[in-house]
Amino acid sequence: MTTMINQAAPAATETRPQRGLWAMGWRRLKRNKVAFCSFWVVMAYMLLAVAGWLNILGDGWRAQIAVPYAPPSFLAKTVADTLPPEAPVAGGTASAPALIMVTPEEDPIGKEMEIARQNMGKYATANDAKLESLPFGADLRGRDVIHKTLKGASTSIFVGLLGALLSIVIGTSLGSVAGYFGGKVDDFLNWFYSVFTSVPDMLLLLSFAAVAGRGIKTIIIVMALTSWTGTFRLVRAEYLKLRSREYVQAASAIGASDARRMFVHILPNISHLLLVQFSLLTVALIKYEAILSFLGFGVGVTQVSLGSMLAEAPAELVQGFWWQMVAVTIAMSLLVTTFSLLIDGLRDALDPKAR
Amino acid sequence: MNMYKAALAALLGVSALTAHADPDPDKVLRASFNAPETGYDPAKVSDVYSHGVGENIFEPLLTYDYVARPAKLIPNVVTALPEVSADGSTYIFHLRHGIYFSPDPIFKGVKRELTAADAAYGLKRLADPAVASPSNYLVLGHFVGVDELADAAGKTGGKFDYDKVVEGIKAVDRYTLQLKVKTPYPGLQYILAMPHTSPQAREVIEGYASNTPAHPVGTGPYMLQDWKPGVKTVLIYNPNFRHEVFNFQPAADDAEGQRVAKEMNGKTYPQIGRIEVTVFTEEQPMWLQFKSQQLDELYGVPQPLIRGVLTIDPNNPRRAKIKDEYAKIGLKLSRALDPEITYFSFNGKDPILGGLGKPQIALRRAIAMSFDEQSAMRDIRRNNAVRVEYITPPGVQGHNPHFRMFFPYNRPQAQALLDQFGYKIGADGYRTTPDGKPFTIDFLSNEGAIGRQWDEYWQEAFDVLKLRVSFRHVAFNDLLKAMRSCTYGITGAAWIADYPDGDNFQMLMWSKNIGAENVSCYSSPRYDKLYEQSQQLHAGPERDKLYDAMNKVVSEDSAWAPGETRFRNRMMQPWVLGDEVHPIFQTSWRFTDIQKK
């Protein structure tokens, strides 16, 4: 029997050039101009993200190179409002009594302080002059907004991608088990799923975040734990449908194990759905990360993300320092819009029933 | 010429007549608060906004001179500052005659005069367990016989017996009040100037027992007309208020005080007929309303707006002016340092940071010396502050402006100092303890964007020193809890004066206050000894010397890292007269006037 199948297969390819779903999808995507452009923009972002993780790009975002809130270079300089020079104090400074402070003799560690003073030369650092303006301005601490945005976008994408990946893994494994086995297992997992979906998303996210503390790792885990439900429902439905198809029954007949049928036979057939789901989740999680960071549950002090930059914006805007917010807005809306357009294109391209 | 003189005389006559009439009900002052008040029962509230309104309704026995700087106590409803017995235990107050409570239905149309019994009742109420006053510490433990009353009332079924005569708080006759303290209480006179201790009419409190915060009845210049909690409060003048004429005597070199005296002297107290206070919890609408002249007074310039509204001399934050665009339309500014300190506190009980051993002192000092407080002050406080250099801040009795409490900012020296004490850099790039163990500093910080801003400045200091730090972000009440239970490493703390005496600040480091105000959990026998000596003394050069010595002890032990004292910036429309920030009063409405257009 096996030989016959092996012989029959090449015959089929001779008559009609066999194209896989992916190759067909790629061709369809190329025909959709908007989606195809979006694809390249998203790819550029991905490249930027990778460069950010490898610290090739935006690594120096923490360097304070300019004066606080240095304006963008393209802005015309405004004349600062200044006070008249201080009137000399009557009697001059000479008559002021000497300052009182702890003397080295009184100081319990006075000797060591003195030695430290002699040794401090090796730690001396050059004190560079701060720039008055930067190409796209600086933040409160004189850090370059462009560098910060690049690094922030990189963090946000990283968090979005990894969170979405983890979420897909959780959703797919639970969904496939529920859909494939059905019965009591399905009931239990459905109940578990209902509990999660009964709580409003944002509330669940915030309560997880409040318990787990800060940092990129926690954000990723928290977001994955709250966003797997959509994937679960989708995968479960697909497995319910596909488990009784002929090719699965055939696999069963030749003695393939449950795991093999689930992951080798059925899973590849829903992979296009997972890709779309993954992209959707990535966009959603990039937005969720921004909200979390904005609310102060996000990244730590040594990290920057688009959300943590947005959190600084309200205080800056009332003072008229708009550049950081504009930079984040551009970076974020371009990313989210192109990603969403790409997803639309992908869904059309990968749907076998489409045109 | 004669006619002119006559006209002038007539004019003067008219103005003399109006000067004794009631305040003009058409003079409306529209004021603002930037946080909601909680109510107007002085025994039950503890927030500055409630007491800010209460200041205008209630009159404590003593008060402060409006223009004297530093703040100076003066008699209010009493004839003079109290007579104190030789041993300092008994205080006698004589109430002024002819001071009346504002009209209220409870009084059934009879003018109700203030008596010593009202003063005693107002004080005793703070100790009543049924009132559950957050300010009961002002009274409990101090007055002879009062604690026993409170204890009896605290038992099941017990009731505070206001009628029982106790020596500690006693109305000797209709106008004489006697206070007797168990141990010397140097702060007592200041306590009696706090609105919390104002006299109360007992029939009013008992008549409105179910809702005293909504029915304040006092002897002050104003009474409550309308109150929408957290939104709006309307005060109108008290028709029973005694006739008094403003006669401010500011120091010759006090330009702002001179302006107030010029604008107000000779007018009757008060001038404004109606005060409308609106609460703004968001900064932007408050500013926009003020800018469009819908508010007469801005309680304080919000921190994010300071750079846009004021020009502050970067080298001397005491010099500031309103930006030209606002000065042109005549907006006025009154600016004063708050009687407060903010500081970063090391936990004295922390196994790594705490204690009086030399390596621990060196670690704390290195951290304090590495914190770029000047940049943080410039960027976060917008230069609207001065560096703390003494435990007792400027404007408070006992402050020494010539003291420098903190070692100068010097990161290289701080690193060399850590080397000196054997905090070696380990394989992972972070320093270890002198005996080679790795450690992480637990930094307790406020949640929210402002907390994160401070964290960034601190992170930089720890990066330079190569110390591992972990920031813990908690809500304000959890922060307080951790500080009181000494379960943190480093944290930011602040203290604002209850009364303008150094004792209110120096007690922050007294070891007996650990678990309460001593959030640094600092325990130094040297400091305690000096502090206990200072408690026996009244303000003066002798006590100042002890304060200097105490500041040196804290400086030597490096128990704190530097912080700031902030300025309060009040702004007024051009037609508001006599308005000046007072270091202790929250509001100045009762001392102001409106120039009618």
ipTM: 0.73
How far apart are the CA of A280 and the nearest CA of chain B, in angstroms? 30
How far apart are the CA of B305 and the nearest CA of chain A, in angstroms? 6
In whole angstroms, what separates CA A49 from the centre of its chain? Answer: 9
pLDDT reported for residue A221:
87
Closest Cα in chain A to B312 = A83
Mind listing the pLDDT tens digit for each residue in A292-308?
Answer: 888 777 787 788 889 88
Of B400, B411, B413, which is closest to A117 when you measure between CB atoms?
Answer: B413
pLDDT reported for residue A352:
65
Query: Do you find a cis peptide bond into B184, omega within 30 degrees of 0?
Result: no
What mean pLDDT value characterizes chain A?
A: 84
What mean pLDDT value characterizes chain B?
A: 89
Q: Is A109 on the interface with B (CB under 8 A)?
A: yes
Is B419 in contact with A68 (Cβ distance < 8 A)? no
Mind listing the pLDDT tens digit for each residue in A162-188?
Answer: 999 999 999 999 999 999 998 999 999
Residues paired with B442 in a beta bridge = B470
List B residues 27-46 in contact with A (Cβ-Cβ < 8 A).
none
Residues paired with B46 in a beta bridge = none
Residue A344 has pLDDT above 80, yes or no: yes
Q: Is B412 on the interface with A (CB under 8 A)?
A: yes
pLDDT reported for residue B27:
92
Closest Cα in chain A to B401 = A99
B402 Cβ contact partners less than 8 Å away, ≥ 6 residues apart:
A96, A97, A98, A99, A100
pLDDT reported for residue A131:
83
Percent of chain B with pLDDT over 70: 96
* Residue range A64-73: mean pLDDT, rounded: 85
Distance in angstroms (rounded) separating the CA atoms of residues B418 and B422: 6
Q: Which CATH number fits domain B340-566: 3.10.105.10, 3.20.20.70, 3.90.226.10, 3.20.20.60?
A: 3.10.105.10
pLDDT reported for residue A11:
42
Q: What is the dihedral of CA B370, B375, B379, B384, to 10 degrees?
A: 110
Domain range annotation of chain A = 21-63+144-349
Q: Is B378 on the interface with A (CB under 8 A)?
A: yes
Q: Which residues of B touch A83 (CB under 8 A)?
A: 311-313, 319-321
Of the candidates B562, B559, B521, which has an alpha carbon nearest to the alpha carbon of residue B361?
Answer: B559
Distance in angstroms (rounded) separating the CA atoms of residues A342 and A36: 7
List B residues 524-583 in contact with A (Cβ-Cβ < 8 A).
548, 552, 555-557
The dotted CATH code for A21-63+144-349 is 1.10.3720.10
List B residues 114-133 in contact with A (Cβ-Cβ < 8 A).
none
Q: Which residues of B touch A98 (CB under 8 A)?
A: 402
Distance in angstroms (rounded) separating the CA atoms of residues A294 and A277: 25
Q: Please write down the HEC assignment for all residues of chain A.
A: CHHHHHHHHHHHHHHCCCCCHHHHHHHHHHHCHHHHHHHHHHHHHHHHHHHHHCCCCCHHHHCCCECCCCCECCCCCCCCCCCCCCCCCCCCCCCCCCCECCCCCCCCCHHHHHHHHHHHHHHCCCCCCCECCECCCECCCCCEHHHHHHHHHHHHHHHHHHHHHHHHHHHHHHHHHHHHHCHHHHHHHHHHHHHHHHCCHHHHHHHHHHHHCCCHHHHHHHHHHHHHHHHHHHHHHHHHHHCCCHHHHHHHHCCCCHHHHHHHHHHHHHHHHHHHHHHHHHHHHHHHHHHHHHCCCCCCCCCCCHHHHHHHHHHHHCCCCCHHHHHHHHHHHHHHHHHHHHHHHHHHHHCCCCC
Q: Which residues of A touch B320 (CB under 8 A)?
A: 83
Domain range annotation of chain B = 3-20+40-220+241-262, 340-566
pLDDT reported for residue B277:
95
Mind listing the pLDDT tens digit for each residue in B293-308?
Answer: 999 999 988 888 888 8
* Residue range A32-46: mean pLDDT, rounded: 92
With contact defined as beta carbons under 8 Å apart, do B560 and B353 qualify?
no
Distance in angstroms (rounded) separating the CA atoms of residues B328 and B289: 18
pLDDT reported for residue B415:
94
Distance in angstroms (rounded) separating the CA atoms of residues A227 and A223: 6
Q: Is A126 on the interface with B (CB under 8 A)?
A: no
Residue A199 has pLDDT above 80, yes or no: yes
Percent of chain B with pLDDT over 90: 62
Residue B200 has pLDDT above 90, yes or no: yes
How far apart are the CA of A143 and the nearest CA of chain B, in angstroms? 12
Residues in chain B: 597
Q: Is B424 on the interface with A (CB under 8 A)?
A: no
pLDDT reported for residue B19:
43
Residue A5 has pLDDT above 50, yes or no: no
Q: Is A320 on the interface with B (CB under 8 A)?
A: yes
Residue A78 has pLDDT above 70, yes or no: no
Confidence of residue B134 (pLDDT cuts 50, 70, 90): confident
pLDDT reported for residue A149:
92
Residues paired with B386 in a beta bridge = B565
Of B404, B413, B449, which is closest to A99 when you measure between CB atoms?
Answer: B404
CATH 3.30.930.10 fits B3-20+40-220+241-262, yes or no: no
Residue B5 has pLDDT above 60, yes or no: no
Mind listing the pLDDT tens digit for each residue in B10-27?
Answer: 444 334 444 456 788 889
Residue B332 has pLDDT above 60, yes or no: yes
pLDDT reported for residue B293:
92
pLDDT reported for residue A203:
84
Compute the count of residue pairs across chains A and B with CB atoms less than 8 Å apart. 126
pLDDT reported for residue B489:
95
Distance in angstroms (rounded) separating the CA atoms of residues B262 and B171: 40
Residues paired with B236 in a beta bridge = B223, B274
Q: Please write down the HEC assignment for all residues of B284-296.
A: HHHHHHHHCCCCC
Q: Which residues of B touch A302 (CB under 8 A)?
A: 459
Distance in angstroms (rounded) separating the CA atoms of residues A266 and A239: 7
Residue B2 has pLDDT above 80, yes or no: no
Mind listing the pLDDT tens digit for each residue in B202-239?
Answer: 999 999 999 999 999 999 999 999 999 989 999 999 99
Q: Is A105 left (phi over 0), alpha (psi -120 to 50) or beta?
A: alpha
Of B319, B449, B456, which is closest to A315 when you measure between CB atoms?
Answer: B449
Read off the pTM. Answer: 0.78
Helix (H, G, I), strand (E, B) or coil at B183: coil
Confidence of residue A81 (pLDDT cuts 50, 70, 90): low
Is A86 in contact with B358 (Cβ distance < 8 A)? no
Of B421, B552, B557, which is closest to A112 when you measure between CB atoms?
Answer: B421
Mean pLDDT check: name the lowest of A83-87, A281-285, B431-435. Answer: A83-87
pLDDT reported for residue A353:
64
Q: Is B372 on the interface with A (CB under 8 A)?
A: no
Mean pLDDT check: name the lowest of A76-85, B4-13, B35-44, B47-56. Answer: B4-13
Amino acid at B594: I
Closest Cα in chain B to A314 = B304
Q: Which of A82, A86, A99, A100 to probe by mutation at the B interface, max B CB count within 10 Å? A: A100
Residue B401 has pLDDT above 50, yes or no: yes
Structure tokens belonging to residue B182: 């168990």
Distance in angstroms (rounded) separating the CA atoms of residues B60 and B80: 13
With contact defined as beta carbons under 8 Å apart, do A69 and A321 qualify?
yes
